[in-house]
């Protein structure tokens, strides 16, 4: 049984007429009849029976048609995907941490799509934590991720593309607001709004506190800077955060850290030793070449 035989059978079953099916398939009616006869002989069943002046499917024919429709649909999908792989188009599913959603990812994707040769690429967008992004890259739900570096992920490639300064934020009414740069150790003197500990930045800040011997009074943990700055604004505490574009200086004071150079790196991440669609490879190359970071640099500092 060949795919051609299934396509011939499907056409005859749909049109219920050998002559019409032969015209649609651009083959002679005798050739079509011989193909169906051969299929019936191979399967040991009768697929069509006379019905008035036309033909109709037998019970065996109706059953075969169910399978033929599914098989041929999957073949059509596979053919489309293969053509997509060889063309300038394709779909790229990307995942990224929340701080990149406001400007960085939309701006970079728009720039990529505006580059000649990428006009027909489409994107799927997902915001999540680093751990979830890594999981979805490994299980095939995402093609590319933008998140923190994670140790012991030997099957993944991490390349740093974005450097984020870590700053201390306070409300405009806070006792520290009138000061300029602040010591990192001020975090031990006031309630702190922290990152969710299972997030990339949560892991970063917790390792940092441990390395510096700081034991901050963490009032609560949040998943992103928008939530953190809202609580800081209402004077629940202060926070050590990545300096991202959503920080609003109209109701926050942003302080540089005076006694430590603290930075956090965002990486582009994908599966090693895994075939990449041409569009996906172009996008990864675009993101790396558009970064001003040295890809050989240390991927994390704490």
- Each residue of 18-61: pLDDT tens digit? 999 999 999 999 999 999 999 999 999 999 999 888 899 999 99
Asked whether residue 156 falls in the same domain as residue 292, the answer is yes
**Contact at 8 Å (CB) between 267 and 290?**
no
| Domain end point (choices 52, 86, 120) | 86
Compute and round to an integer the Cα radius of gyration of the chain: 30
- With both helix axes pointing from N to C terminus, report the angle between 29-43 and 18-25 in degrees, rounded to the nearest 10: 110
Query: How many domains, in total, are found in the chain?
Result: 2
Asked whether residue 24 falls in the same domain as residue 80, the answer is yes
What is the bridge-based pairing of β-strands 252-256 and 144-147?
unpaired
Residue 295 has pLDDT above 50, yes or no: no
What pLDDT score was predicted for residue 297? Answer: 45
What pLDDT score was predicted for residue 52? Answer: 83
Q: How far apart are CA 164 and CA 242, in angstroms?
A: 6
DSSP 104-125: HHHHHHHHHHTSTT-TTEEEEE
Mean pLDDT of 188-200: 92
CATH number at residue 64: 1.10.10.10
SS3 label, residue 171: strand
Asked whether residue 129 falls in the same domain as residue 40, the answer is no
| Domain end point (choices 55, 86, 117) | 86
Residue 49: domain span: 3-86
pTM attached to this predicted model? 0.67
pLDDT in tens, 64-116: 999 999 999 999 888 877 776 666 678 899 999 988 988 899 999 999 999 99
CATH number at residue 212: 3.40.190.290
């Amino acid at each position: 049984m060949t795919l051609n035989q299934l396509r011939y059978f499907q056409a005859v079953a749909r049109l219920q007429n050998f002559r019409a099916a032969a015209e649609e398939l651009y083959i002679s009616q005798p050739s079509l009849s011989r193909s169906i006869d051969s299929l019936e002989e191979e399967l040991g069943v009768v697929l069509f029976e006379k019905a008035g002046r036309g033909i109709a499917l037998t019970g065996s024919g109706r059953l075969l048609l169910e399978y033929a429709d599914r098989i041929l649909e999957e073949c059509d999908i596979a053919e489309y995907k293969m053509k997509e792989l060889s063309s300038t188009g394709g779909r790229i599913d990307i995942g990224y941490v929340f701080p990149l959603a406001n400007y960085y990812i939309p701006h970079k994707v728009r720039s990529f799509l505006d580059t000649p040769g990428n006009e027909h690429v489409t994107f799927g967008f997902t915001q999540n934590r680093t751990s979830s992004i890594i999981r979805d890259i490994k299980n095939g739900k995402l093609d590319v991720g933008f998140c923190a570096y994670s140790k012991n992920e030997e099957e993944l490639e991490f390349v740093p593309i974005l450097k984020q300064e870590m700053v201390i934020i306070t409300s405009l009414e806070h006792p520290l607001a009138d000061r300029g740069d602040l010591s990192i150790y001020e975090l031990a003197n006031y309630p702190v709004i922290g990152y969710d500990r299972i997030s990339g930045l949560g892991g970063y800040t917790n390792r940092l506190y441990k390395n510096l011997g700081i034991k901050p009074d963490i009032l609560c943990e949040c998943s992103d800077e928008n939530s953190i700055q809202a609580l800081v604004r209402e004077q629940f505490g202060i926070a050590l955060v990545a300096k991202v574009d959503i920080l609003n200086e109209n109701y926050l004071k942003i302080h540089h850290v005076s006694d430590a150079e603290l930075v956090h790196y965002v990486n582009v991440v994908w599966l090693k030793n895994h075939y990449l669609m041409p569009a996906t490879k172009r996008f990864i190359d675009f993101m790396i070449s558009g970064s001003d970071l040295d890809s050989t640099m240390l991927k994390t500092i704490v």
